Amino acid sequence: MQRKKTAAAKKASFPDGSRLRIGIVVSDYNADITHPMLAGAQDALASCGVKPNNIRTLHVPGGFEVPYGCLALLTEKKRYDALITLACVMKGETTHDVYIATAATQGIMDLSLRYGVPIAFGVLTTNTLAQAKARSTGKHNKGTEAAFTAIAMATLK
């Protein structure tokens, strides 16, 4: 059985990010979930040497708006080596969550392929608030994982 890597072990396996420019698009809807994910992503980027001046964070209202936020960063004069998306779409009483998550996922993938820039997918799709909280803090913070993914993908080029 293979053990999961700790955050420190994951960091050690990633290249130096000191020359990377990273954009982060974070949804402010469910901010009690997405803002800790943002903090996790920022900490992970810093631990890999990404300079604070090379990180641009763009806040958008909700998960549906994340692809447009990515487009805004991708069409800036500054070129990004990778983007990170952070949002939380939770199941409700209707299937609204499915439509939002599907649209966000497709939009993010389309932009990544069209612009040739990796976009790390940090969009939580959970059934409950408890699941979302468990994935937005501590060692299971999906923002941290998305940041490590962005660094790995940015260095593939």
The contacts of residue 45 (CB under 8 Å, 6+ apart) are 17, 22, 55, 147, 150, 151
Q: How far apart are CA 150 and CA 119, in angstroms?
A: 7
Q: Catalytic residue positions?
A: 96
Secondary structure (3-state) at 29: coil
Buried-state track 72-94, b at ≥16 Cβ within 10 A, e below 16 = ebbeeeeebbbbbbbbbbbeeee
